[in-house]
Structure formats: structure tokens, C-alpha cells
Structure 1
Amino acid sequence: MKVKFYESTREYFEKQDEFDRALKHVLEKGNFILGDQVAQLENGIQEYCQAKYAVGVASGTDALIIASDILGFKDGKEVITSPFTFLASASCITKHRGRPVFVDIDEETFSIDVNKVEEKITSNTVGILPIHLFNQMADMDRIMDIADKHRLRVLEDAAEAFGMRWKGMGRQYKHSGTIGDFGVFSFFPTKTLGGYGDGGMIITNNEELARKAKQYRVHGASKKYFYDNVGYNSRLDTLQAAILLIKLKYIDEAIRKRENIARLYMERLSGCENIRFPKIKGEQKSVYYVFNILAERRDELAAYLTENEIGYSIYYPRPLHVQECFKDLGYKKGDFPVAERAANEIIALPIYPEITTDEVEYICEKINAFYKN
């Protein structure tokens, strides 16, 4: 049996008529830049997330860059974040000549260790950039407490976190991205809500921040050819918005299917002493965007999976503090031992709504067999 890490065509063929009609409608109308479907998707995201404002942009990376610029994460100012994440979570700061200040991760969740954040705050610190990683949100109660105490801005990297909710001190669930000053989503194809190309969204409950985000995505213009700021060319494609509107209709069903797949993995692999699962911490509703395990002899296991035609991915093989592009920050190997250890042990198994029970059973059978040999 061959099991791909992700197979987008299954979803397309399941809902082919809907997707084809939506794309045909855009093509026939010819409004490809900030067309009606973009506004409809923004309204849909606002309603689903209970956010006051949503601004569609060209990618999750652009969403981070624009939000960082608006929040003042630039010109030598420091922003506290995690080294165990995708490049964009820190490059959005360095793009504006800001300085990412890394904090090690919690070894059970892979999220930023909130107990180490406050010790990194200096007179030059302007913000915190928590990443809601893999299947759960960071501890937003503690992060917002620290931010309020030190008057810091908070940018939630919720690129992987669509559908996740945190039950905060107000004792009601809040969607990822709606707790800080800004939140961002990525619509990269593999995401829980993913398009058939790049796309992103900025969300906020602040009217002034939303106004700026709308300007910044069109070169900083308040109206055509009138520029209040030097912004960006970053607009969510109308064709992608049309696709995402269809997928948003089925998002709760997709989340439930992901949870069922994750439970099956945990059930079938629970007897294997050579692997560990991340723990969910805090009162929250998780979403299994990916399914990670910490595995002994990880690289050998990866080679074995390849031999048996099973796809996998490694998020992330090298933490940001030891990446060549960030060497000027002055970090070295050993500075964040938990992140470095996770990078050597973590491996992601296939999980998407259309994967079959037989395929998951096959993957678990092979992993169990690997550790019995």
C-alpha cells in the first residue's frame, strides 16, 4: 500500500462540481483582484472566528509581514518568539530590521515556554509573537497577562491554527487569532482550511488596525493612487477565495474527521514504548492540523517509512536559532536544548480528512513492526 503524506485531489474529486462551478463563475465574471468572493470569505471568516475584521492577503507569510510592520516590530525593536517554528514567524520581524528574541519551548506541547518569556523582556521589547503550533494554541492567558503588564503588542501566528479555540479567563472560548492585537491565518493547501495555492488572512478586533491592514495590502493606499503609507502588493486571489468559500462550508466536518484520525493513531500506537505524543495543555479545543510523534531513532524510522511507501514530514529539522540566515542574532547550538531535542525526534504522519482507516491502520502496523525488529 502506498500512502502519500497529503493528497489534495481526493477532496477535489469529492466536491468537483462545486469547485468547478465556483471557479467558472469567477472566470466568467472576470473580477480576479479583490472580487466579490474575497469580501464574502472575509465575512465568513469574521463570523466563524467571531472576529470584527478580516483582511484577505496573498499568503500567511505576507499576513505576518504586514501585521509586524503595522505593530512596530521593526527598526531594532525586540519581539519575543519561539525558535521552533517555520521561518516566517521570525523573518517577518527581521524583514523590518527588528530583532527576534527566542525563548525555548515547552517539551510536552512544542509551544513557547511562557514561564521563560518575562525574563527576556527589556526596555527595547515591543511585542510577543506566540505560535499556535501543530494541534494546540499557546497559553494565551499567560501571554496576555505578560503583555498587559509590560504594555506589549501581541501578534498571534495562527497560520496552522484555524478552528482552534482557547478558553480564557473570561471563561468563554475564543478563536485563535482573536485574542492578541492581530492574528494571521495561512491558506496553504495542506492547512486545515487550505486553498489550491497561496493565500492568507489577517484578523483583528481593532478598527484602526483593520483599516491599516486594508491599506497596506494595496500599496498603502487609502483610495486608488492616494498613498498614506508605503505598503505591499498582497491581495487574496479571487479564485482562491472562491475555493475557500466552499471549503469553509465543510470546515467543522473536516475538523471532526481529523480528530477521528488522530484518535485512531493514538489508539493503535499507544502500546509502542518508543514513541511519545504531545500533550494538550490548558482549556482549549484543539485541531489536528498535523499529527506529530516524538520517535526514538527518528531518522531510521523515516527511512523505513519511505521504504514502505509511507509519506511523512519533519516539522522542523533545524530550529531557527541555528539557521544560517539568523547567524547575526548571535545564538548558538545548545542555547535552546528543548527545541533542539524536539528537532531530532519529531516526525509527522499523514493526516487529512480524506485519508482512509485502512491507510492509517497500515501506517501504525508498519511503525509497530519497525520497533519490534
Structure 2
Amino acid sequence: MQPTPLPDKVLSRGLLDVLIRAGLIAILVISCYQIFRPFLDLMLWSMILAITLYPLHGMLRGRLGSDARAASLIVLIAIAILLIPVYLLGDSVAESIQKSITVIKNEAFHIPPPADSVASWPLVGATLHGFWLQAATDLTGLLQKVAPQLKGVSLTVLGKLAGVGIGFLMFIFALLIAGIFMAYGANGSHSAVQIATRVAGAERGPQIAELCTATIRAVAQGVVGIAFIQMLLVGGGFVVMGIPGAGLLALAVLLLGIMQLPATLITIPVIAFVFATEGATAASIAFAIYTFVAGMVDNVLKPLLLARGVAVPMPVILIGALGGMVTSGIIGLFIGPVLLAVGYQLFWQWVDDQPEAATPAADDQQPT
């Protein structure tokens, strides 16, 4: 008995119902994303910080006997660590501005006239000589002349500083939210495993969740941790040698390390400055060797720490960090390696999951 085929109207109605449901789900997802989008970076930073600091939370929880107390202590210590350098930086900038204002009021600021040989420099010699000479003889008139350009540059600098301030406040809020995440860390870990299991299956889900967690911690140790160690090593040398603005230069080393740029951009000019002012003494030579080696220490530590505890080759993590940094900024430094590590793992699981090659049956084989 042949089955009765479904009428075309029933098929079209079923397809229409599926399309309507899919459309409604898409509208719901897009609407939820638009509502959540202003908080996306904040929540991503919060999750990254919570995952990174959770092992420390586990250690403190055993001593304090409370998840909330351990999370609160970590957040307070982290905020204090952030506020102390910011206070020192602000105090240094305010002191420099006050000294500059005092020098200008007392008319103690004088620019020496340029040498005649400056005018003979190729391309820029004549222009530079005229500009320098006017600055030495009529600084007020020169400032009035370049006032419109200075105004534009000042507005740009103030805008950048405002962006840095907003980013700093967002980081503080992210720390507070990360403390809440750590206080409910067990539930969060269980939820992450459930979501990964629902997406990738019961076998691969827990592995993917563990891989994401290990990758974020490895990047935090291998990038931020190494940059902090490098800042301490280089900054200590600057302080001992009495380099002007040693704190600001050490902070610049930290930022370069986080941005995956070489610290030699700071250390080599400082070494040149020391030789120009101190000469080739034993102290300056020892400082140059120490500073150069400290500026290159990330090349030794990064292979040791970057892929530590991650079942993914170190070049994959490094490429993910660099690519994420280029495409998405600082937050891409963490998201890039996670996505690339998960993609790498899934790709090789797909490659290894090949059906066994079918062996020809004995009766199908032709006699030779």
C-alpha cells in the first residue's frame, strides 16, 4: 500500500510556520544584542578578569572561609594597585605643570639661538632655522602665530586623555563586576560547561570550556604578567640610575609590553641619554647591559608562559594575541587567542574524526 502524499498546501504551511518562527527568533536575538551592546566590552572585561583571578580567589577562600570575602579582598587590592600609580602619575604631571608656569612667570625660560650650520641642513634646514630663530627672539609672537594649530593639537590630546579616563573607569567597574562573578564562580563554571555542552555536544563541550578558561589565563600570564615583570626590572634600573621621569618610563614599558611592542623603544633611547650625559663609565656600561637584557627578557619568558597549561601550540596563541590586538584592541588580546585556539582544536578534532578506510571483501578480490 503506497503512502498518501501530503498536499502542497500542508507542506507550504509547515514551511511558512518554520520561516515565521526563525524570523521571530532572529528579531529577538538582534533586539537582545542591540540592548546588550553598550555593556558588551564591560562584561567581556569582567569575565576575563574573573577567569584570570579565580585561582587566587580559590586560595583566599580556603583561608577566609567565604566566597564574598575573598572576592571583595581581591577587588580592593586590585583597585588600590591601580589607583596608586595613577595618583603618582597625576602628582608628577601637576608638579611639572606648576614648575613650567613658575618658569614662564619669572621669565627664566630662554631658548638659545640656532647655529648657522642648521640652515645648511638638507630639506628642512632653512625652515627649521627660521622657526628656531623666531622662538629664540620672539617666543610670544611665535606662540600667537601657531595658536590655531596648538588649539587643534590640545583638543586632540584632551580627547585622548578623556578616553583614557573613561577606559580607566570602565576597568574599575569591570573589576567590581568580576568580583561578583568570582563570588558565584562555581555556578558560573557550571553554566559555562552547560552552554558549551549544548553547543558542541557532551563529549567536546567540557573540553572547549576548559580550553577557553586555560587560554585566557595563559594570555594573562604570558602577556600582562610578563609586561609587569619587565616593567619592574626596567623601572628598577631607571630608578637606581636616577633617570628623570623613571616612573613614567616604566609605565610606558608596561603599556608597550601589553601592546606586544618591544621595550627597546624605551630602553635604547634611555641608554643613549645615559651615555650622552654620563659618558662611558663603568656604571653607565653596566646600566646599559642590564637595561638591554631586561628589555629583551620577554623573548625568553613568553615561550615559557604563553601556552602554559593549554593544549594548543604556542604559535597559535601568539598569533591569536597579535591578530586580536590588531583587529580589536586590548580586549582582542584575550578574545583572539581564545577564538583561534577553539578553532584550532575543533579543526584537528574534525581531521582526526575520519571514518575507517573500507577494506575490500575477500570474495571481491580478484585472484592474481
Shared fold, TM over 0.5: no
Using the size of structure 2 for normalisation, the TM-score is 0.28
Structure with the higher fraction of residues in helix conformation: 2
Using the size of structure 1 for normalisation, the TM-score is 0.28
Higher RCO structure, 1 or 2 (CA under 8 Å, sep 6+): 1
